Amino acid sequence: MPSSTLQWLSLVAIIWLQAISGTNTDFPTYSSQLKQILSISQVQLNNLAFASDAGKLFGWFSGLAAIYLPLWLVLIIGSFLGLIGYGVQFIFITNQVSSLSYWHVFLLTFLAGNSICWINTVCYVIAIRNFLSYRQVAVGLSTSYQGLSAKLYTNIVDFVSPHNKAKSFLFLNSLVPVVVGLIVAPLVREIEVKNPKHSSVGFALMFVITIGTGIYAVISSLQFFTNKVSSLGVFIGIIISILLPLLLPISVKIKELLDSWHKKRERLRVYNFTIEENTNYEGRTDNEVKDGKDSCEFQVVGVMEEIGVKLMLRRINFWLYFFVYFFGATIGLVFLNNLGQIAESRGCLATSSLVSLSSSFGFFGRLIPSLIDYFNR
């Protein structure tokens, strides 16, 4: 039977994937430089922001791929789509390619936006399959880290190359998902753990780590903090925060090793029993086994309903979700995509701090529903 450590490692893997997959959320930080480099108007810049979001309209391709292809391959395809989408733009603005038109850049941005769906699909499938009884909590908790993407990339750029933001962001957006995807690809698989123990405690610890990460993300985005701490210190802090979820599978592995050691130690003990003692011992064992049958605890797992497209379109829940997302989240995306331009028009030069702060609060906003679901179980 697979170890519970692998189960929690898969959750850490999808947390890392979500943390680096929101590449379109850092667009406001370098949009002004991109506008100058490409010599385009504000309307054309807005169209590029739209193209990144419109790429998700074809996210259902990744859903079909997840049915017929291994999940690690779906992950690699999504990562390389982003590599092409952002990578070609990077070599274009570095003057290594000079034959791209505006519409070529538009299509590349569209492709890069679609790549996010492939990574998200893998994360959702793994979270649901590996944590069936806690699937809503696992999906919500891991998805919250996607709100941290802009904060993560902004801290890296502020430390590495704060003056060439457009080039740095495009380079990181193309390369980081590929590198992380290749690292965690072996963990992106279904891990069958029968009757997983202490899942509730594990998620409670994960929430503590996640909330701590969110608090640090908000505080480190404020100017009074960045004025006292160097960009290197902020960068190291956010990297440590991303690595903290590893503490859970490490602790589970240590517990498994200790349990295994105690079992081996018990087997090596030699007892000298008399016949009477042995009989009493066997009697007690039989009684304990009989009592144990009555006291067995079974984990109740809900049955998931698989529905087709036609049935889904007839469900009121689908249309409620569709219109709420269309009229709610879409307006927020329009605001966030133009946050850099809005800040500059108001005379605010700390665009990076503003984007990092909005990203950090977005992280908390995504986390709250899963936290409520956890306590309402």
**The domain that contains 87 carries what CATH number?**
1.20.1250.20
pLDDT in tens, 15-36: 999 999 989 888 888 888 888 8
Helix 149-160 and helix 231-243: axis angle, to 10°?
Answer: 140
Mean pLDDT confidence for 184-197: 80
Which pLDDT score, from 0 to 100, does residue 285 have? 47
326 in a structural domain: no
What pLDDT, in 10s, does the model give residues 318-373?
A: 888 888 877 776 677 777 777 777 777 777 767 778 888 888 888 888 888 888 88
Q: Number of structural domains, the chain?
A: 1
DSSP 8-state secondary structure symbol assigned to residue 246 = G
**Max avg pLDDT among 24-38, 233-247, 280-294:** 233-247
Of 366, 365, 52, 15, nearest to 188 by C-alpha is 15
**Taking a C-beta distance cutoff of 8 angstroms, is the pair 217, 27 a contact?**
no
How much of the chain exceeds pLDDT 90, in percent? 39
Q: Is residue 318 part of a domain?
A: no
Q: Would 185 be classed as within a structural domain?
A: yes
Query: Would residue 306 count as lying in a domain?
Result: no
- pLDDT band of 196, cuts 50, 70, 90: low
Query: 157 pLDDT band (50/70/90 cuts)?
Result: very high
Quick check: is 313 in a domain?
no
Closest CA to 194 of 133, 275, 149: 133
| 282 alpha carbon, distance to own chain's centre | 52
276 in a structural domain: no
Q: Do the Cβ atoms of 111 and 85 come closer than 8 Å?
A: yes
Is 170 inside a domain boundary? yes
CB neighbours (10 Å) of residue 48?
22
Is position 273 within any domain? no
**Residue 266, pLDDT above cutoff 60:** yes
Domain of 83? 4-257+349-375
pLDDT at 273 over 50: no
Cβ neighbours of residue 159 closer than 8 Å, sequence gap 6 or more: 231, 232, 234, 235
